[in-house]
Structures are given as structure tokens and as C-alpha cells.
């Protein structure tokens, strides 16, 4: 266990350092463009899994949190000239507050009713933005980027570094929740909420905490979006595709462990980028096929497949040892 923790923290420390060095070695800009998108989905899928995977509440409001984070960053930049890290912090705070507010209104609903309520919340926020002229309304707004800080050549390279840090933060949060009493409480209410309440688990507080953390991470992932695209408009920013993709990545990767959504996001987002270069519609077909295959063949996702493979290898080694022992005897 200690070795695993040491490896994890070494990896978590090395990843931002690598992301800071890579943009300075002259790689093609396209690689950073693709890597940014993949890491953005790693954050969204990991954040989705905190509520959807650990607590079992299927959330279709990912696009609402992502879009709210993007527009919060835009307002902070346009009204106050805030730097990027302040934009991200503001987006995370607003996302957490929205998570708590939405949780208080919807968490007493269960199953499909909760999922529909999260879609309704996304529509309400998008409608508000559509009619707010300060941020461009329905026609959107061109974003004028300030000078690139920290010695980076382009914003794509800078935002790749920033998204890497957000990815590490999201993974650390998800790992802590999984291994702490919070994760055990969320698992208990997911499996049998009434029994968990009778056992003294503070179910409402845990669900609100999961909503706040999940919402904060999703909104933080959306904060760099205006600078990344240089243009922002409501329809694509609040797209339902973000919700579908985050859910798909968690299902394909496996929702029982923190690294499941990470693997799912890397697999699907990388495939999406390859497929989209051939046909814009092809990636949706690929995502759909992967969902069907994993739901039928491997309902526990990549996590389940890896655990099954480890078990098979372990049992094979035991059989070899027993055979050698019987030969010696």
C-alpha cells in the first residue's frame, strides 16, 4: 500500500513538471491541441464519477457546469481583467455553489427523475446566458487573449500545462474520496440508501459534498475554454455532448475505482480525435459502439477487465508453484 502511494505521488508530481517542459522542446502544436482535449475529458469524467459512480446518481448536467465555468471565466476576464488562475478559482467556487444549490433541489429525487432534473438545470442556465448581452447572448463573443504568460509561446501550450494541473488535482480529489470515509459512505448510500441512513451515515451531507466537489471540478475544466477557442457561444458550450461523453468514459473505464474514468477518457477522447479527423460524425458512432460493447461484454469496464486479468495471472502462478511443490515431494 505504501509503495502504491509513493508511486502515485511521484507520478502526480512528475506530470506537471513534464507538462511544463514538453511545450519548450519544439513539438508540433497539434499534439498539444489534442492532449488538451483528452485531459479536459479526464477531468470531466473523473468529476462525473464522484457523484455518478461513487454515489450512483446519474448526472446529465455536465454541460451546465462546464458552460457555467467557461462563462464565469469570461465575466471575470471581461469585467475585472482577472488572470487565468483567478478565472479558474472563480469558476470552481461558482460550480461548487451551483452543485450545492442543485443538490438541495434535486437530490431527494432518484433514478430517471434525478437525471431529468439535471437536464432541466442545464437548459435553465443556457437560456439565461442566451439572453445576457454582456457575454454576447445567442450570437456569442470573440475573446481577445492577453499576452501569453510564463514564457510559453502560444496559448495552446500554456493551456495544456494548466489542464494537466487540473487533471492532477481532479485525480487526487477522486482518489482521496475513494479511499476515505467519504467514499465508503457514498458507496453505502449507492448500494442501499435507506440502510445507510439507518446505520447513521449522513447521506444528505455526503451527497451535497459530492455535488459540490463534482461541480467545482467540472466548472474548473470549463474555465480555460474561452481562451482555448478564442470564441464562445452558448449552444456548443452547454452542449449535451459533454454529459454523454463524461458518462460514456466513466462506464467504459469502470466506475468502481478512481483510475477507471481516467482510462476511459484517454481511450474514448483519443479515439474521438482520430475519428473526427476522418469524419465529424464518425466519433459519435465509435463512442456508441464502445458503450454497447462494454455494457454487454465488460459491465465493470476496463477496471473489471484489468482486475480479471490480474486474478488469472495470480491463479496461474499459484498453480505453477503447486505443481513444482508436488514434483519436489
pLDDT digits (tens, 9 = 90+) for 235-270: 989 988 898 889 989 988 888 789 999 999 999 888
Q: What is the pLDDT of residue 196?
A: 85
Closest CA to 54 of 315, 322, 256, 296: 256
State yes or no: pLDDT of 40 exceeds 70.
yes
In this structure, is the dihedral angle defined by the CA atoms of residues 179, 184, 185 and 191, taken in order, positive or negative? Answer: positive
Q: How confident is the model at residue 1 (pLDDT cuts 50, 70, 90)?
A: low
pLDDT beyond 70 at 78: yes
What's this model's pTM, rounded to 2 decimal places?
0.90
- CB 265, CB 38: distance < 8 Å: yes
- Pick the range with the lowest mean pLDDT from 37-41, 166-170, 278-282: 278-282
CB 274, CB 260: distance < 8 Å: no
Mean pLDDT across 6-21? 90
CB 119 within 8 A of CB 65: no
Please give the average per-residue pLDDT across 295-312, as a whole number.
Answer: 85
Interatomic CA distance for residues 100 and 98, integer angstroms: 5
Alpha-carbon torsion (164, 274, 246, 234), positive or negative: positive
- Which residues, in sequence order, are CB contacts of 64 under 8 Å at separation 6+? 98, 118, 121, 122, 125, 126, 238
- Output the average pLDDT for the chain: 87
What pLDDT is recorded for position 154?
A: 87
Amino acid at each position: 500500500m505504501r509503495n502504491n502511494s509513493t508511486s502515485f505521488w511521484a507520478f502526480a508530481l512528475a506530470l506537471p513538471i513534464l507538462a511544463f517542459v514538453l511545450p519548450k522542446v519544439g513539438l508540433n502544436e497539434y499534439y498539444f491541441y489534442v492532449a488538451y482535449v483528452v485531459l479536459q475529458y479526464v477531468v470531466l469524467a473523473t468529476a462525473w464519477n464522484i457523484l455518478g459512480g461513487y454515489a450512483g446518481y446519474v448526472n446529465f448536467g455536465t454541460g451546465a457546469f462546464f458552460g457555467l465555468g467557461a462563462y464565469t471565466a469570461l465575466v471575470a476576464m471581461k469585467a475585472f481583467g482577472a488572470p487565468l488562475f483567478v478565472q479558474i478559482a472563480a469558476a470552481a467556487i461558482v460550480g461548487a455553489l451551483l452543485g450545492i444549490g442543485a443538490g438541495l433541489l434535486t437530490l431527494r429525487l432518484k433514478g430517471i427523475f434525478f437525471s431529468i432534473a439535471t437536464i432541466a438545470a442545464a437548459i435553465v442556465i443556457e437560456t439565461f446566458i442566451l439572453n445576457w448581452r454582456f457575454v454576447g447572448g445567442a450570437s456569442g463573443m470573440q475573446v481577445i487573449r492577453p499576452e501569453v504568460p510564463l514564457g510559453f509561446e502560444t496559448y495552446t501550450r500554456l493551456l495544456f500545462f494548466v489542464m494537466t494541473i487540473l487533471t492532477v488535482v481532479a485525480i487526487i480529489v477522486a482518489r482521496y474520496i475513494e479511499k476515505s470515509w467519504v467514499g465508503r459512505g457514498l458507496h453505502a448510500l449507492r448500494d442501499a440508501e435507506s440502510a445507510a441512513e439507518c446505520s447513521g451515515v449522513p447521506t444528505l451531507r455526503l451527497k451535497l459534498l459530492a455535488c459540490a466537489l463534482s461541480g467545482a471540478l467540472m466548472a474548473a475544466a470549463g474555465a480555460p475554454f474561452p481562451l482555448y477557442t478564442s470564441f464562445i457561444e452558448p449552444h456548443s458550450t452547454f452542449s449535451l455532448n459533454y454529459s454523454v461523453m463524461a458518462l460514456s468514459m466513466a462506464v467504459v473505464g469502470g466506475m468502481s475505482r478512481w483510475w477507471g474514468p481516467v482510462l476511459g477518457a484517454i481511450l474514448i477522447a483519443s479515439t474521438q480525435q482520430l475519428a473526427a479527423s476522418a469524419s465529424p460524425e464518425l466519433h459519435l458512432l465509435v463512442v456508441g459502439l464502445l458503450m454497447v460493447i462494454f455494457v454487454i461484454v465488460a459491465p465493470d469496464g476496463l477496471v473489471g477487465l484489468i482486475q480479471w486479468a490480474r486474478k488469472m495471472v495470480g491463479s496461474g502462478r499459484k498453480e505453477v508453484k503447486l505443481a513444482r511443490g508436488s514434483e519436489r515431494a
